[in-house]
Amino acid sequence: FPSDKIRNFSIIAHIDHGKSTLADRLMELTGTIKKGHGQPQYLDKLQVERERGITVKAQTATMFYENKVKDQEASGFLLNLIDTPGHVDFSYEVSRSLSACQGALLVVDAAQGVQAQTVANFYLAFEANLTIVPVINKIDQPTADPDRVKAQLKSMFDLDTDEVLLVSAKTGLGLEHVLPAVIERIPPPPGISDSPLRMLLFDSFFNEYKGVVCYVSVVDGMLRKGDKVSFAATGQSYEVLDVGIMHPELTSTGMLLTGQVGYIVTGMRTTKEARIGDTIYRTKTTVEPLPGFKPVRHMVFSGVYPADGSDFEALTHAIEKLTCNDASVSVAKETSAALGMGFRCGFLGLLHMDVFHQRLEQEYGTQVISTIPTVPYTFEYSDGSKLQVQNPAALPSNPKYRVTASWEPTVIATIILPSEYVGALDILLNGQAVDALATIVHNQKAYRVGKELVEKLKNFIERQMFEVMIQAAIGSKIIARDTISAMRKNVLAKCYGGDITRKKKLLEKQKEGKKRMKRVGSVDIPHEAFQQILKVS
Ligand code: GDP
Ligand code: MG
């Protein structure tokens, strides 16, 4: 397969929007799995995935597909599909998968519309420069509203509504358009076939018979069974004992070409030798290492101890093998007075932690006791020293110095929600909204905050030649108001005594002038006043 006949794509979506079911249908359509055989969500192979009905591991499947374009001869394509998890705790799986792809099917439930992980995963794919093919799924549901979802995709992601595919992964409706769209819209992998071999190690797992199996994406060059390869990060070299594709089970092919996604077995002795994100190249050549992955940020830590103290050895082996398949867990040895020897593990979230424990039990038969999860804290002492704590036991109970400050992790979050749920508070000066003063507050606090802001503004804004009306509003509803009266210029100063009608005329004119200024004029708010207002509010 020349690389212009290869397409690598992920399926991304919010949890439960139908990624794994769509993957089933595409694999059936291409004869990769038999229709009606096997279980639904075929790629959810782990027991924990089947029990919970969620995907926690990204899974790759290679498919062969004959694409027939009208009036043209059918031509064969090799498609690599990666099904990904939807839950936020497993987004590391998604970002790694995307690095082996040029495009992504962004699946959205026709009834639920765009959800939190739709947005997060869209941006992962967008930042990775992938071509996004929007797919609205579950159009068979009675509550499906594809037009509303199309409008959301347009307004939130600027996706062309004409390019949105409408499907039901359940009934098969519209599915015939998916793979042709993948072929037409997603570019082939950009690698250079006659360059020296460069592969990205994007995932791995431990197999009892084969040892460590590495999932690789061939960026440049080609690879054959028997070749000698080196790993950039570890500096280790190996002979390639087996090489092949996931079809969807491991299938030896003897070689992998530029742009392909597949697996290699090298007879590594320990799982630590497979560092996810590493660059693999032909031994004795020099290549520029691939960018790899951003290091993961662990959100929660907990202790993992063998339920039976003597099983420490078994737990060590189990953790070693499992972390080979889940590189996002951090592991460090620790000892507890009560529980003996164990490990302190860092996870991406509580669900991730739960799933890790469950996999230790189900896949490796180790019973574990886990301690209460904690977030990492930083303490500062009166001598200026700082202490990072991931385990409550590590916090000295009688410290030499006083704790002067303590920090816990905070999140900078963007909340996207329909406008009816927002108590958006506008500040209007003479009827015009001042965007810099607008704020989002909880409905319950809106009245108090609005009143305070109006009062502060009244104190900070100088009197103008015209009356200034200050209002706080939620939508069109005014919830607080005040006015700063105008300075009255003495227009009569130049009239020495005399004509009362002339005076009246001038006063009329002044009134009109004021009106005009009120209508068109904008209020000057001094910069310092702005800062003061924003600071105190
Ligand atoms: P994932 O979390 O995105 O992988 O979602 P799954 O593929 O596991 O599907 C979640 C649920 O939605 C399952 O119960 C599927 O049977 C169901 N589902 C998937 N696609 C469709 C569809 O097109 N129509 C309907 N009605 N249900 C679907
Ligand atoms: Mg799934």
| Nearest residue (CA) to ligand 1, atom 24 | 138
| Nearest residue (CA) to ligand 1, atom 14 | 16
510 or 260, which is more confident?
Answer: 260
Over 70: is that where the pLDDT of 513 sits? no
Over 80: is that where the pLDDT of 12 sits? yes
Q: Tell how far the Cα of 210 is from the centroid of ligand 1, in angstroms.
A: 34
Q: Which residues contact 208 (CB under 8 A, 6 or more apart)?
A: none
Q: Which residues contact 60 (CB under 8 A, 6 or more apart)?
A: 80, 81, 82, 97, 100, 203, 215, 246, 248, 261
Give me the interface pTM, i.e. the ipTM.
0.99
Per-residue pLDDT band for 114 (boundaries 50, 70, 90) equals very high
pLDDT value for 520:
37
Q: Which helix (H) or strand (E) holds 104?
A: strand 103-109
Q: Is 247 annotated as a binding residue?
A: no
Per-residue pLDDT band for 523 (boundaries 50, 70, 90) equals low
Q: Which residues contact 47 (CB under 8 A, 6 or more apart)?
A: 362, 363
**Contact status, residue 300 vs residue 373, Cβ threshold 8 Å:** yes
Q: Is 137 annotated as a binding residue?
A: yes
Specify the pTM: 0.77
Q: Tell how far the Cα of 266 is from the centroid of ligand 2, in angstroms.
A: 30
On average, the pLDDT of the chain sits at 86
Q: Tell how far the Cα of 87 is from the centroid of ligand 2, in angstroms.
A: 9
Which residues surround ligand 1 with Cβ inside 6 Å? 13, 15-21, 41, 54-55, 86, 137-138, 140-141, 168-170
What pLDDT, in 10s, does the model give residues 307-342?
876 689 999 999 999 998 998 999 999 988 888 899
Over 50: is that where the pLDDT of 521 sits? no
Q: Tell how far the Cα of 20 is from the centroid of ligand 1, in angstroms.
A: 7
Ligand 1 atom closest to Cα of 54? 2
Q: Which of 16-25, 399-408, 439-448 has the highest mean pLDDT?
A: 16-25
Residue range 449-476: mean pLDDT, rounded = 81
Q: Tell how far the Cα of 18 is from the centroid of ligand 1, in angstroms.
A: 4
127 or 111, which is more confident?
Answer: 111
Per-residue pLDDT band for 476 (boundaries 50, 70, 90) equals confident
Residue range 287-296: mean pLDDT, rounded = 88
pLDDT value for 507:
61
Per-residue pLDDT band for 168 (boundaries 50, 70, 90) equals very high
| Residue 49 amino acid letter | E
| Nearest residue (CA) to ligand 1, atom 22 | 138
C-beta atoms surrounding 421 within 10 Å: 9
Residue range 163-181: mean pLDDT, rounded = 96
Ligand 1 atom closest to Cα of 14? 3
**Contact status, residue 209 vs residue 197, Cβ threshold 8 Å:** no
Residue range 453-463: mean pLDDT, rounded = 80
Q: Is 443 annotated as a binding residue?
A: no
In testing the pocket of ligand 1, which one of 11, 17, 21 has its CB within 8 Å of the most ligand atoms? 21
pLDDT value for 522:
59
**Contact status, residue 465 vs residue 516, Cβ threshold 8 Å:** no
Q: Which residues contact 392 (CB under 8 A, 6 or more apart)?
A: 374
Q: Is 19 annotated as a binding residue?
A: yes
Residue range 17-40: mean pLDDT, rounded = 89
The DSSP string of 164-220 is: -EE--TTT-TTGGGHHHHHHHHSPPP---TTSPPEEEEEEEEEETTTEEEEEEEEEE
Output the CA torsion 164→166→168→173 (10° steps).
Answer: -130
Q: Is 140 annotated as a binding residue?
A: yes
Q: Is 244 annotated as a binding residue?
A: no
Over 60: is that where the pLDDT of 266 sits? yes
Residue range 192-215: mean pLDDT, rounded = 92
Tell me which DSSP letter residue 437 carries.
Answer: G
Residue range 230-258: mean pLDDT, rounded = 94
Ligand number nearest to the C-alpha of 21: 1
Residue range 140-165: mean pLDDT, rounded = 94
Structure-token pair, residue 122: 């869209």
In testing the pocket of ligand 1, which one of 16, 108, 112 has its CB within 8 Å of the most ligand atoms? 16
**Whole-angstrom distance, CA of residue 169 vs CA of residue 393:** 50
Q: Tell how far the Cα of 115 is from the centroid of ligand 1, in angstroms.
A: 15
